[in-house]
Structure formats: C-alpha cells, structure tokens
Structure 1
C-alpha cells in the first residue's frame, strides 16, 4: 500500500487566521460590577495546522472561510435549536430528547452569584449565538454524554465545550489551545493526544473527549470531589488553584471557588458553565425554548485499516466534505497518518455504506496521487493554487528547500481533491508533446555544475536517472557537488544518430499496476535495451507502481516522419 510521507514532521502554518466566537480559555471578562454589553467571549483563531489544502478540499476560497463553511453546514439543517419563546419548535424525537437526558444527570448545585447572573444575561440576549453553538454540538453531545455517564461524572460537564470552544472543532486560542476541549500541546501529550504533521489528537472528537474527562477526573480527585475547583483548575492549572487554596487556609479564609483569588479569565470561566447549566436546565425561565436533540448516536467510528485519503472517504460514504471535516477535524492534510490512528467518524446512517466501500476499495486507490509536470513559467505558488494546496505542503512533499523548480520536473500532489485523477495512458502519452525538445547528443556529453544544482536536478534536466548519473561519476546519491565540477551524462551513446539534426523528447513515465518493462517499451515504441539503459536497469529488474522511468522518444513531426 502506498504511504505518503512528508520530508519533515513540521506542521504547515498559514498566515491568514479567522477570529471565531468562543468562550475559550483566554477570555478576559467584563468588569464584575457592570453588565457586559459586548460579546464577553474570547476571540480565537482557527488552528494553524489546518492548511489551505483542507479549506480548498471543502470548496472554499481560503483559510478565513473555513468557519463559514461549517456554519453553512449548520444552516442546512433548516431548523433552530435555540429560539425565543413563542416560536414553533421541533417535536420530541422517538428516542427522546438529549437535553432532557442531560438535565436528569445534573449533580452540581445552582449557585446564586453576581458573576453567574452577568454571564446568564449575555447568553439570554444572544439566542443566535446559542443556536449556532448547539447546532455544532448536535454532532458531539450524545457521545460526550455517554462517556460522562460511563464514568459517573456530572452531566453539566457536557456543556463545558460551550465555554471552551463553542463546539467549534477547529477553534484555536491565543494560548495555542486547540479543539473542542482546548488542549495546549503539552497537556495534550500528557494525556496521550498524538500530534504530528498528519494528525492532531487535540482536534480528534473521540480522543480529546477521553483525554478531557481523564483530566477532569484527576482534578476532581486532587480537590476532594469539588467540581467547581476542578473546572477552575482545568482552565488555569491545578498548581494555581492549589496555591490559592493554601493561601486562603493560612489566612483563615473560605476555600470555595468564589472565595479564591484566581485569574480574571478563570473568575469568568466557572460562572459561564453555571450560567449555561441554568439555561439548559430551564430555558423557559429565561424566555428561551430549546428544540430537542435526538437522544441517539450521531456518528460511528470505523476502522479503515490503514492510510486513507479523506476525499476518498467522503465519496465512499456519499458524504459532503464539510460534514466529514466537522467529524474528523484532527487530520491536518486530508490524508490520515500511515502509522495511525486508522479510525474515521461517519454519520451513523452512512455506516454500512462506508464499511462496504472500504472493504471493496483496492489498496492502490486508498490515497490519490497526482504528478504535475512543470512547464516554462510555472511557479510553486501558481501550482499550489491550481491544486488547492499550500506552498509549504507542496515543498514538503517534494523535498524542495528553496523556491526553484525546473521545466520537465515532476511534482507530487498527494491527496488531491476530487477531479484530479491519475493520468490515463492517453494523458501520459500526451506528455511527449509537452516536453522541451532535446537534440540528440553523443556519448561525450558533459555538464558543468552551477550554483544551486543537485544530482537530482541535473538528472532531471538531462533525462537520466539520478542513480545512473551518480554511478557514472563515482559520487554518492546524497553527495555534495562543487560549482564548476564536470559531470558525464550517462546513456547518451544510445541516443546517437547519423542524422545529427534529428530531435527527441525526454519524458518520464509513472509505472502503473500491471506494467512490465516490455509492455512499457512496446507502448512507447522504444527498444527494451534502450529503456533499460536510460534507467540503469537490467532485464531482471523489478519495477513497482509509482516508480518513474525516463525515456527519449522521437518527435516524429519535427523529424518529418
């Protein structure tokens, strides 16, 4: 199975970021003695490891549009979850209302405190904000509630992502916290959330929920079952809460949450959760009405058994890319990590279709690959725009350090969007007409190394394999060349002709499944011995799908044939 791996493990970071409404860990509240008229929740950015490839994949124009794409998906539901009283709502579904299940699992006390009242007033005045937030939460709440019940934890904690991220799966705070539960990198790793070029477990709906509940349970034990202190510590750290508790004990002061001198952000954090608890517990008392959320699983986890292109996954599930993004926001580049995890979330009503599609999917179709043949005038930026990927991802996939590319160079475009298909035989043959003519040379051809050139770029320029070029000149494949060094170009004796004016074109053929050296030679009307010589192969050599072979083909039109 083909596994696409980047040259480095560094995440690609885009420059443009989007501010989205959340109540995350960096909220600086309004003054405690005045009611906040402005939105009191923190403005946070999208996670920068979501690259332009991801946004292009869901059909939007740039990184600043990814949040709008998810909101557009929410708008497609055609109903409101949160509204003012007096407006018609949806009937209770057959399996019951998930909101009611949450209310029945309340264990925290309703606290009468001015800070809770202030946060409550803001939420009540902004039902549209609540509606957007809970529409996102529809996808995740049933899973979160089930996990809390399994651990015998307060079901009010299912509302904590409202405070943390507004249920935005790609929220990213100024403190570099990410995902529904807003983990920073260090804490995420502490609780087993893998983070690399392919995948960020902080944005994995299932993994991050498990990690968050593990952390909250640990904090509750640290503070003798006081959940308000545990939630406060989730925001500002257990060390800070422990210090303030000890300070109050020494001073003979109360040690409840509201008596501690905590950061301003944390002083608003717990009241937000308590305000949301009150609203969900009795929305009519606040002049609001909540439409029911079905008390049934929204998604199911499917083991796909290996690396998979998420574009392929969306097609197999007959699912929009927006919906797949909303359920699988952990994958940075629309291709899963070859080392796992190998699970993808799909809506439960698409489970059987997707499972059957995965079982029938040939290994060579799990990851889409496209090669772009560089033409005169191409730039990395233009090529990246054409395929909807970032320049950083393009450079990483092709091990390009600078910005120089050369006509005739093949660039790998991995996990390409739908419509970027593998080239057909006719398309491959047509590449011959796109190559720059190369006059036939004799066996004495030499190349003088210039600044910035490498064995690879020289081999590509002369249409020979890097292995044969290195072997002919007694240098290592990864060796360093010197400016002015003279290299012999191998294999050119086979191109000699009595007609010195005849013209050939070099092309690179990407080996496909079922190909053999003899069938390739026949297809392009070249001698097998020539094909072997151009690529430093023997008749016993084994070729594999994806391998590139260099060939010189006569331009029959130019030769007058």
Structure 2
C-alpha cells in the first residue's frame, strides 16, 4: 500500500531539449500546484549544491571515455555496464557526499522497482533501465525539474503527449506511475530502434534524439563515449550515462558498496474501480473505507481533487483489497450540499457591498449570517462568510427507512414548454448535475415538457443554524464543486422553498381524539410519524399537505395514540 509521505531528494535534473516554448518564453505544459495538500506539491528534483558538486567533480576527471572497459561482473546486468573515470567518480560520490540521497533513493526503490521491472521484462527491454527513473526523479512521482519535466520519468509536456499521456487542467498522467512507465518504455524502445545502442538511447532520452542524431552526424562517431569527447554536449547531459551506470552497479549489489540495512518501502499495490465523471476524492475515500489523504496519494495525477469531468468514466485507484467494499458502497453513496463558513477580516475602506461582490453574496445573507443590524463595518472585525460545500455519507445497506427521511424533502416540478435544466436549477438554486442525478437523466438535455422532476431540497429556513442542505435520494451521485448555494442570490434576498400548505391554523376546531403538534427544528414527516406511530400519508391527508415539506413553528393535527 502506498505511503502518503513524499520526500525531497537530490534527483537528476532533466536537460531535455525537445520541449516547446510559448511566445512569451514560458515552457509549454508547466504544471501547477492545484491540489491544496502540503504532501502533494510538486517537488524540486535536485538541489543546486548537488548539481554544482557533480559538475565540478566531472570537470576534474579529464578526457571522457579514456580507458573505458567492460566490467568483470557484467553477468549481473542486462544493461551495458562499463567502468571509466566518470563512472568511478559517481561510484565515489554516491558513497560519500551524496550517500544520504542515494540511501533515500534505494529505500524508495522498493515501492516502484518490482512493478517497473515487470513491465520492462514484458516489453523485452533491459530490466536495469528501472534505475533510469532513479536518476531522473529519485523515485518521486511529483519530482519537478527546472526545465519543467515532471514525474518518475521526467517527461516534458510535448514528449508526454506524443507518447499518449493525458495532460490538461484535470489530470497529468506524467505523475501516474503506471501510465508514465508505459510511455517511458515505449519511448526508450523507439530510441533504441533508432540508435541501436543503449548508451546513445538513454543519452537521447535525456538530451532529445535530435541532439544525439546531429552530434553523431557532425563528428562522424557511432558511440556515446566518442561523442562525449567533443564539446558538443553540455556537461549536464554528459553526466547522464555514467551516473546511470553507477546507480545500476550500486543498486544491484548495495552491500558491496557499503549500503546495508536499507529500509526498503513496500511495493506499490492498489485496486481500481470505475467511477463516474467528476467524482471528488473524498467520496472515493468514503466508499473504499479509507481517508482522503491516502486516496490523493494513490491518485496524484488528478490535479483538482476529483476524477476528470470530461471523461465518460475513470478508473480511480483505491487501497489494495478494498475493491469489493467500494463496489458495494457505491450504490449507497449519497451527497448533500451544506453551507460552510470561511472568515473574512474587514480591511480599511471595505464595505458590505464590496465584500458581497468579492464572494458573490447578497447583503441580506451576509448581515443575517453575522447577526448584524447595520452595514457599518469596523476594520479588523471578522465576518463569517457562507459558501456551499458538498458532503457525502453512506446510507445503511437495505435500510429504506433512512430514505424516507430524505423523501420528506421532495418537491415535484412539472416541466413547462421551453423550460431547461439550467432554468430549473436557477429557479430552485441547485446545481444542474444534481437534478440530473436525482432523476436518473442521461444528460441535462434529456427532458421534455410535461415530465415531472424530483427535487430534494431541505427547508432553507434552517440556514440560520448553519444546517441548510440539499439532499440526494439517488445512488452514485457525482457533483462538481463548488455547488450553487441558496444563500447566494442576485435578487438581494435569501430564497426560501416552502410547502404549499404549512398546516392548519390553531383556531380550527378538531375532534377530541386529535392533538395539535408544533413542528420543531429538525422534524420531518417521517420522524413525526415514527414518534406518534402513525403514517406520514395520514399526517399529509389530515393537514391538507401537498408535499412532504414542513417548517419549524407550523402546527399539525396529529391523531392521539
């Protein structure tokens, strides 16, 4: 099972040159920190101090490729391992000043090496290429270089897209270990087909195939070491091959080089489950019986904390062994829109109007939430600012009585000619896709005049206690955040959805075997029917109610028990 902790490391900076630059000089595909989680930020792939140390040591090794020999233990490797002054420099560096970084890489290798080796073997590529990811990223999925290469394999955006990695505002598959490994294997296979030499192929992976291709042609050479003797490749690129070879040699026999008692991480394992578009990761955590931090760690490629809304379905990763639980819970997942609160500290010169514009609120709502009778504001005072937030819960399996409580909030809307889901959503101040989910519609366009829509909307009067909710009665409800709150209105008033009848006035005479009951905050027809051991239908009929909506303070006729 994947750990949610991520580590900074001294990883290799990618000097790939085959990126695309925009007109303003920015590199295409620059990733943003879209997930508001400190453990899931992009991580710097190498410190300046480590880079300076490497380049200084390399410059002191003299001519490149001199006395290059095949190691005497080549049977341990399926990558062409050689020794020379540059390789020996890295062997020494990893055992001394960069020992701590290399120990971290080895520890993290336990998570990724088994999976990547399996994929390399299936593709017929050398399994030693698994350590290419080590020197690229230090096995950090969110490693991010100064040239804006990202992920375990440090793909630039252009190359990643060329090798079928999806990169947009919702997802960056360069961070997905499974997808990025498949693309890296395909890329390395193509490079080997072109150059017929693994040293040249991995050099091209770093520098770009065009750079290597042009160098071989210019200097009439056919191998990496002869090309490296010329002042054609940057030293940052030249270091790539000897660094990989040294990493392979130590990683395959760590004890020989003094790396003992390494606490290798457990191999990365997970299950997958197909979910609907736009499902937030906190909902995935609920159905899989874990916490959202673990789900985020397993799905770091998702940049907005939810599955892509622009895909028909998405295979989200969940903890190993939890697929059966998640599948069974999916049918019992219910969502509701609640009102959360953030704090705004009043600044000098701010007015109620300017604050309302900033948060798209109406004045009445903001004054009511803060129990203010005047719009005069004092700088430094804190205001509570309401905002809509989507929450999730699981209903007990097979317990239909729980749904009865939800159905007490039912409103039936008959679609008129010319009405759209958009117009209806604005009228009732609910998100369009909730209406779609509540009614099992295929899309926002699949409605017709005369059709009745079910809306599950709790009494907006309860918003004074901070508990206004829009409730869902259907399973597998997926909604985009943020939702539209009934507290937000362009009309300047808090909208209230009321029943067609609030109950009969207490002046009406009633038989002696009946009582008046005053509706309390939190009551529903279902809870009242349970309390007095009568049916909800009877209460509706006695009180001339045309829906299940009731309001605190209303009076109802109840038959004596």
Q: Classify the TM-score, shorter chain.
A: 0.5 to 0.7
Q: 2:276 aligns with which of 306, 309, 334?
A: 306
- How far 1:144 sits from its partner (Å)? 0.3
Unaligned runs of 5+ in 2: 1-5, 17-29, 45-73, 347-355, 370-384, 395-401, 410-457, 467-486, 506-520, 527-534, 556-561
- How far 1:213 sits from its partner (Å)? 0.7
Q: 1:51 aligns with which of 30, 35, 59?
A: 35
Q: Is the 8 A contact 1:248 1:255 kept in 2?
A: no
CA RMSD of aligned residues (A): 5.4
* SS of residue in 2 equivalent to 1:22: coil
1:111–1:133 distance in 2 versus 1, CA, 3 Å: same
Matches within 5 A, 1:79-228: 106-125=77-96, 126-223=98-195, 225-228=196-199
* SS of residue in 1 equivalent to 2:111: coil
- How far 1:24 sits from its partner (Å)? 3.1
Matched residues in 2 for 1:253 and 1:359: separation?
54
- How far 1:554 sits from its partner (Å)? 6.0
1:133–1:380 distance in 2 versus 1, CA, 3 Å: farther
1:519–1:337 distance in 2 versus 1, CA, 3 Å: farther
Matched residues in 1 for 2:204 and 2:85: separation?
21
Answer yes or no: is 1:248 the counterpart of 2:197: no
- How far 1:205 sits from its partner (Å)? 1.0
Q: Say which one has the larger Rg.
A: 2
Q: For 1:351-410, what per-residue CA distance to the aligned partner results, in whole angstroms no more than 9, with x for missing partners?
A: 2xx121122113462xx75644366xx45799xxxxxxxxxxxxxxxxx99544353797
- What residue in structure 2 maps to residue 357 of structure 1? 325
- How far 1:431 sits from its partner (Å)? 5.8
Q: For 1:283-303, what per-residue CA distance to the aligned partner results, in whole angstroms no more than 9, with x for missing partners?
A: 343233365969x96414423
TM-score, normalization: structure 1? 0.54
Q: Is the 8 A contact 1:371 1:413 kept in 2?
A: yes
Unaligned runs of 5+ in 1: 1-16, 28-45, 69-102, 383-399, 437-454, 466-490, 498-506, 513-517, 533-550, 557-561
- How far 1:323 sits from its partner (Å)? 4.8
Matched residues in 1 for 2:121 and 2:175: separation?
22
* SS of residue in 2 equivalent to 1:228: helix
* SS of residue in 2 equivalent to 1:149: helix
- How far 1:124 sits from its partner (Å)? 1.2
Matched residues in 1 for 2:459 and 2:281: separation?
30
Q: How many aligned residue pairs are there?
A: 379
Q: Is the 8 A contact 1:335 1:415 kept in 2?
A: no
Q: Is the 8 A contact 1:371 1:410 kept in 2?
A: no
1:228–1:254 distance in 2 versus 1, CA, 3 Å: closer
Matched residues in 2 for 1:526 and 1:172: separation?
66
* SS of residue in 2 equivalent to 1:207: helix
Q: 1:342 aligns with which of 315, 323, 326?
A: 315
Matched residues in 2 for 1:187 and 1:381: separation?
46
Matched residues in 1 for 2:76 and 2:120: separation?
9
1:256–1:457 distance in 2 versus 1, CA, 3 Å: farther
Q: Is the 8 A contact 2:459 2:551 kept in 1?
A: no
- How far 1:145 sits from its partner (Å)? 0.2
- How far 1:330 sits from its partner (Å)? 1.2
Q: Is the 8 A contact 1:248 1:254 kept in 2?
A: no
Matched residues in 1 for 2:175 and 2:224: separation?
38
Matched residues in 2 for 1:118 and 1:417: separation?
58
1:290–1:197 distance in 2 versus 1, CA, 3 Å: same
Q: Which has the higher contact order (CA 8 A, sep 6+)?
A: 1
Q: Is the 8 A contact 1:304 1:344 kept in 2?
A: no
* SS of residue in 2 equivalent to 1:344: strand
- What residue in structure 2 maps to residue 373 of structure 1? 339
